[in-house]
């Protein structure tokens, strides 16, 4: 499986749940028209347990990205040259 997804604050997400002959199924759809995309792209589905696991990992990744950005901002602020200042 190969999934490449880039979400922005403007991406509209929609969730659906239903029952198939093999059991419960969950889907997430997004409205993100990409050049060259085909009909049916923009859908991610799986069992409810796997979709919850994916959501947990997505939250963990988002937290790590925010922490990394804060660390870099802090590093830049503390190592910025002090033009014209005397310690």
Decide if 27 is inside a domain. yes
Q: Mean pLDDT of successive 10-residue segments in the chain (87 residues)?
A: 79 92 93 62 90 95 95 87 63
Q: What is the pTM of this model?
A: 0.70
Question: Strands, E, within the chain: which ranges?
Answer: 12-20, 23-31, 43-46
SS3 for 12? strand
| CA separation for the pair 34, 42 (Å, rounded) | 9
| Model pLDDT, residue 6 | 79
Decide if 18 is inside a domain. yes
| Model pLDDT, residue 9 | 87
| Model pLDDT, residue 58 | 93
Phi, psi of 58 (to 5 degrees): -65, -40
Decide if 6 is inside a domain. no
Assigned token pair, 10: 């403007």
Decide if 60 is inside a domain. yes
Question: Domain range holding 29?
Answer: 12-79
Decide if 2 is inside a domain. no
């Amino acid at each position: 499986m190969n999934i490449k997804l880039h979400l922005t604050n403007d991406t509209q997400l929609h969730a659906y749940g239903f029952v198939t002959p093999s059991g419960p199924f969950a889907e997430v759809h997004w409205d993100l028209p990409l050049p060259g995309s085909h009909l049916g792209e923009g859908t991610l589905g799986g069992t409810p347990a796997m979709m919850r696991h994916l959501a947990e990992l997505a939250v963990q990744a988002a937290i790590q990205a925010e922490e990394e950005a804060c660390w870099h901002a802090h590093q830049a602020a503390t190592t910025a040259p002090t033009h014209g200042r005397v310690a």
